Amino acid sequence: MPGQAAEAVADSLKLIRALLTLVHVLHADETTTRIGSGRRWLHVACTERLTLLGLGAAFA
């Protein structure tokens, strides 16, 4: 199911990434989050109208 979901939003994510590269002001942040027993980086890039979230590699 996650593969189907990723495929369904792939074009939208490409568009959001492209639009984020065109803005004059962009907020970017990374923070840690716990998923199950592991920790991962949560990456955020956003404007007042667009938000892109992504998970980085797991770490101990």
Residues 9-30: tens digit of each pLDDT: 999 999 999 999 999 999 999 9
The number of distinct structural domains making up the chain is 1
State the chain's mean pLDDT as an integer: 91
User: Which of the four pLDDT bands, split at 50, 70 and 90, describes residue 36?
Assistant: confident
For the chain, list the strands marked E by DSSP: 27-35, 38-46, 51-59
DSSP, res 20: H
- Residue 44 belongs to domain spanning: 2-59
> CA 3, CA 50: separation in Å to the nearest integer?
23
